[in-house]
Structure 1
Amino acid sequence: MQDEPILKVVNLKKQYGPGCQWCSNGHESIFEKNRCLRCGTVYACNDLSFELYPGEILGVVGESGSGKSTMMKCLYFDEEVTSGAAYIGTYDDGETNVFQQSSQQKRHIRNTILGMVYQNPVLGLKMDFSSIGNIAEKMIAAGDRHVERMENRSKELLTHVHIPLARIKDEPKKFSGGMQQRVQIAKALSNQPPILLLDEVTTGLDLSVQASVLDLIKTIQQKFGISMIVVSHDLAVIRMLADRTIVMLDGKIIEQGLTDQILENPQHAYTQQLVYSLI
């Protein structure tokens, strides 16, 4: 792992609602979890700060509603942040807050620097396009117009994620959930992004399929040296994949550190509860 982070997030905040004089000042007494009881504003992400290093897998764990998926949507520009900054080492030497870039620049970052794998493949794939067409679409969005190169790259990636070549012209709607996730991973990798975002990618899959998808993620990370953020509510997934882990609760980071450290010696009461429920 190198010293300079490839991604640095500083005080990321995402709120739904205008806020009021009480919750804007952080009065704990008027909150129910991360929702203001006076005005109804929900603080989905509340001042999140963390780093991701080259070649690292960073795990993000927390219960449903903790803000994990909202954070990922903000990082991939699916959602506008309320405030905060993110700096990517391979974009403008890590000097520019990417949240403040134009929509055109954000599209460029999405298509060339970031890859995203959603929990629901419908969000990441065009279900009526062929699998090879899905990958080509992402390459075209990044400016590629070379048909043969796109076809070869698509075949290479689909083979890598164990989609039989006989089925690369099939639409993802004809595939099982595990195969759809594999096509999504191949699409996310199409432009060789240095950062891959994976949001609950094994939720809802059979255990044997989960294991093969996790094994694929680990293999890809080792082969390509991609930095990854892996979100899960399942500590077993985090244990298998992540070098370091962030624990989220009610829109805040309550604990972070080396995964082994967090699993063997959790400090926060909520993390202790998570860990002991796994044992």
Structure 2
Amino acid sequence: MHEEPILQVRNLQKQFGTGCVECRQMETRKLVKNFCKSCGTVYACQNISFDLYPGEILGIVGESGSGKSTMMQCLYFDSEVSSGEAYINTPELVSNNVFEMSAQQKRSIRNHVYGMVYQNPVQGLKMNFSSVGNIAEKLIAAGNRNVGQMEETSKKLLENVHIPLHRMKEEPRNFSGGMQQRVQIAKALSNNPPILFLDEVTTGLDLSVQANVLDLIKVIQRDLGISMIVVSHDLAVIRMLADRTVVLLNGKIIEEGLTDQVLEDPQHEYTQQLVYSLL
């Protein structure tokens, strides 16, 4: 039996600008990279479609400006899509295009179904709340009201991401970048989300810290069976984490497949350049 995807994304489009005669039609678009010279419209995501399966880590790789982070912002409702569909395979949401849901329904999805770890912890954490306070905030948003229970959950999560408990009342602004990322991961996991988004989570961290964060992600995935989408421009990160990989260039998917396949035998010229620049 073939498993059903937990998340299906179809023809996700995100453009900045209204478009013109030169660029409105996908088939006849004349763009420089993803930019229309005639009217200045940027096509950040062009017809992106993929499936995410239960317990799978899907890697999204591409250079700066390829549309990776814009795609994540659209999926997590930080940014409105221009058009497209996304379906989450849970009993309450099945066969509803979540991009068309109300702001309240989207908030509920963010509180119960999704977790997000941003490249910059400032986006994911309140830097002047304690670490416990940050996690509690997410739990309260998901409807939790039991203070004792929230403290217990927070402690457990912070322990799981190796934050010393004697520092749990401290504010993340006093922490190193690696510790901030780990608090962010704990916060993202607090509502047991079936789907976790990780956007360039190791960028700017020292190599030894990167390795710790990546190990942590692997352990979480193995123990909790969460489905994850990991965005990175770093192929080493994708190689370590992802079961399957999608390669983006100028807002379009140019190659996808099992990670080993894509990295060992890249078909597209751009993927070949990416892979060989690593060797």
Normalized against structure 2, the TM-score is what?
Answer: 0.98
AA of the residue aligned to 2:103 = S
1:225 aligned partner: 225
1:19 equivalent to 2:19? Answer yes
Equivalents in 2 of 1:161, 1:17: separation in Å? 41
Q: CA deviation at 1:156?
A: 0.2
Aligned to 2:173: 173
Distance 1:264-1:130 versus aligned 2 partners, 3 A rule: same
CA distance in 2, matches of 1:91, 1:230: 25
Q: Secondary structure at the match of 1:238?
A: helix
Q: Deviations over 1:35-69 (max 9, x none)?
A: 00100000000000000000000000000000000
SS in 2 for 1:110: helix
CA contact (8 A) 1:198 1:228 kept: yes
Give, in angstroms, the shift of residue 3 of structure 1: 1.4
Distance of aligned partners of 1:238 and 1:196 in 2 relative to their CA distance in 1, 3 Å threshold: same
**Distance change >3 Å, CA 89–CA 204, structure 1 → 2:** same
Give 1:90 shift.
Answer: 1.4
Task: Give the deviation of 1:91 after TM superposition.
Answer: 5.3
1:134 aligns with 2:155: no
CA distance in 2, matches of 1:219, 1:110: 23
Shift of 1:201: 0.1
2:194/2:226 contact within 8 Å kept: yes
CA distance in 2 between partners of 1:112 and 1:21 (Å): 42
Q: How many residues are paired up? A: 279
What residue in structure 1 maps to residue 46 of structure 2? 46
C-alpha separation in 1, matches of 2:76 and 2:53: 17
Correspondences of 1:228-267 after superposition (within 5 Å): 228-267=228-267
Distance 1:48 1:27, change over 3 A: closer
Using structure 1 for the length normalisation, give the TM-score.
Answer: 0.98
CA contact (8 A) 1:6 1:89 kept: yes
Q: Kindly indicate whether residue 197 of structure 2 is the aligned counterpart of residue 183 of structure 1.
A: no
Q: Is the 8 A contact 2:117 2:185 kept in 1?
A: yes
Aligned 8 A contact 1:2 1:54 in 2: no
- 1:123 matched to which residue of 2? 123
Instruction: Quote the offset at 1:27 in angstroms.
Output: 6.2
Alignment partner, residue 113 of structure 1: 113
Amino acid at match of 2:178: G
| C-alpha distance in 1 between matches for 2:218 and 2:230 | 11
Stretch of structure 1 that moved more, 149-158 or 25-34 = 25-34
> 2:63 is matched with which residue?
63
Partner of residue 269, structure 1: 269
1:164-188 CA distance string (max 9 Å, x none): 0000000000000000000000000
Q: What are the within-5 Å matches in structure 2 for residues 78-89 of structure 1?
A: 78-89=78-89
Q: Deviations over 1:218-254 (max 9, x none)?
A: 0000000000000000000000000000000000000
CA distance in 2, matches of 1:142, 1:58: 26
Cα deviation code 1:74-103 (max 9, x no counterpart): 000000000000000115352100000000
SS in 2 for 1:202: coil
Percent sequence identity is 72
What secondary structure does 1:31 align onto? coil
CA distance in 2, matches of 1:93, 1:39: 38
Letter in 1 for 2:40: G
TM-align CA RMSD: 1.1
The 2-side partners of 1:9 and 1:20 are apart by 26
Distance of 2:10 and 2:57 partners within structure 1: 19
Contact 1:2 1:53 in 2 (8 A): no
**What one-letter code is carried by the residue in structure 2 that aligns with 1:7?**
L
Does the aligned pair in 2 maintain the 1:116–1:197 contact within 8 Å?
yes
